[in-house]
A and B are shown apart, each in its own frame.
Chain A
Amino acid sequence: MLNIYFGEREKVMHGPTWFRFNYRSEWLADSLVQEMMESIDKSSYKGGELIESEVLGPIPPERLSGGLQTLISIYERPDLMFNATSCGENCAKWLIEIGKRKDVTVNLRYLMPFDDAETFEINILNDNCIVHNMSEYLELAIKYV
């Protein structure tokens, strides 16, 4: 499940910085990582450390967007808490998808809209309450951002 702490918290990782010095090449071969890469960065994984970006041409993983680097870190290291504020609105549906596959906890400091999905399960840890749609989500999240 996707668990969210809203507002500023301590011991929260900055995704792009953490990813740059800690990612593992094998993460890039994961099918969900490749789907997210295609969707957010318009890029495709070619093998090894090589990624082909529609905009930038051939790039290393360090040049993926900060939002995608944070999503990959959240997915691959569910034992750590990352600041998902580095993720733009186009990352929202992928956070939901990650939450369907793994139990992850993120920190969020803006009102990320999850309106791509009609229903979802997000645990708002500030209230320890599970919300299932945008209406329920907004009612709680708006108090903290």
Chain B
Amino acid sequence: MKGKHRIIIETEKLKYEFTIKRNITIIQGDSATGKTTLIDLLRLYSQFKDDSGIMLQSDVPCVVYSGDSQSWNIILETYKNSIVFFDEDYSFIYTKEFADKIQNTSNYYVLITRQPLYNIPYSIQEIYGIRTTGKYHYPDKIYHEFYNIYMEKQIEPEKDVIVMVEDSKSGYQFYSSVFGNNRCISVDGNS
């Protein structure tokens, strides 16, 4: 599967609208923002389709992993060209076996977790929180959107920082990009 996929899921009281851009997307953030409700809506839509009263707009199937913690390897093989959502607390998503498995499938994966995933390469730009927009309160419809957690945080150090890196190539290029050219100096080491 390639490209971006716009997803809208709504009921008469709730609406979620977001775009999944890459094969791995992480959702985290504060409690009570609607992460579990999103998963519940997707799970119920998978089960009852339009009879659920839930409306889903997506150009690819959206499924919620709801199998047990032992058979995930087999169950994952049944999903093709889909966006697979995992709610938090499936411990196998932190394993190397899971990381290896999902790299070789046609699906995109959305993982709800605050725990670091050391075995899976993913972009900092694809770590999202969920927020409510507008001034809606019950019984008005509540609109939820994804926001990029780290790109909106501007952390300025308390003091001016100069970063000295040993090399003049990849390390220098990386830290120059992060801190800016005038804050990064290469000491032109040999290694």
1/0 per residue A109-132: CB within 8 Å of B? 110000000000000000000000
Residue among B30, B91, B116, B142 with the highest chain A CB neighbour number at 10 A: B30
Q: Which residues of A contact B30 (CB under 8 A)?
A: 40, 67, 88-90
Judging by beta carbons under 8 Å apart, are B116 and A41 in contact? Answer: no
- CA A87 – CA B89 in complex, angstroms? 12
Residue of A nearest to B33 (CB): A88
- CA A57 – CA B137 in complex, angstroms? 8
Judging by beta carbons under 8 Å apart, are A67 and B116 in contact? Answer: no
Judging by beta carbons under 8 Å apart, are A68 and B32 in contact? Answer: yes
Judging by beta carbons under 8 Å apart, are A55 and B115 in contact? Answer: no
The verdict on A109 contacting B29 (CB below 8 Å), with A54-B137, A55-B138, A55-B142 known, is no
Q: Which residues of A contact B137 (CB under 8 A)?
A: 54-55
17 contacts between A and B (CB under 8 A): A14-B89, A40-B31, A42-B32, A54-B138, A55-B138, A55-B142, A56-B142, A65-B32, A66-B88, A68-B31, A85-B114, A86-B88, A88-B30, A88-B32, A88-B33, A89-B29, A109-B114
1/0 per residue B1-41: CB within 8 Å of A? 00000000000010000000000000011111110100000
Q: Which residues of A contact B28 (CB under 8 A)?
A: 88
Q: Which residues of B contact A81 (CB under 8 A)?
A: none
Residue of B nearest to A54 (CB): B137
Query: In which size bucket is the chain B interface?
Result: 20 to 34
Is B125 an interface position by the 8 A CB rule? no
1/0 per residue A50-94: CB within 8 Å of B? 000111110000001111100000000000000101111111000
Query: In which size bucket is the chain A interface?
Result: 20 to 34
Shortest distance between the CB of B104 and any CB in chain A (Å): 26
- CA A67 – CA B29 in complex, angstroms? 11
Residue of A nearest to B34 (CB): A55
Shortest distance between the CB of A126 and any CB in chain B (Å): 16
- CA A55 – CA B15 in complex, angstroms? 12
The verdict on A57 contacting B139 (CB below 8 Å), with A8-B91, A86-B89, A110-B115 known, is yes
Q: Which residues of B contact A16 (CB under 8 A)?
A: 36
Judging by beta carbons under 8 Å apart, are B36 and A66 in contact? Answer: yes
Judging by beta carbons under 8 Å apart, are A85 and B115 in contact? Answer: yes
Residue of A nearest to B139 (CB): A57
Shortest distance between the CB of B11 and any CB in chain A (Å): 11
Which listed residue (A53, A54, A145) contacts B116, Cβ 8 A? A145
- CA A16 – CA B39 in complex, angstroms? 14
Excluding A86-B89, A90-B31, A109-B115, 13 further A-B contacts by CB distance (< 8 Å) are: A56-B13, A56-B138, A56-B142, A65-B31, A65-B36, A67-B30, A68-B32, A85-B89, A87-B31, A88-B29, A90-B32, A110-B116, A145-B116
Q: Which residues of A contact B29 (CB under 8 A)?
A: 88-89
- CA A68 – CA B139 in complex, angstroms? 23
Residue of A nearest to B129 (CB): A88
Shortest distance between the CB of B152 and any CB in chain A (Å): 14
Is B177 an interface position by the 8 A CB rule? no
- CA A56 – CA B137 in complex, angstroms? 8
1/0 per residue A32-45: CB within 8 Å of B? 00000000111000
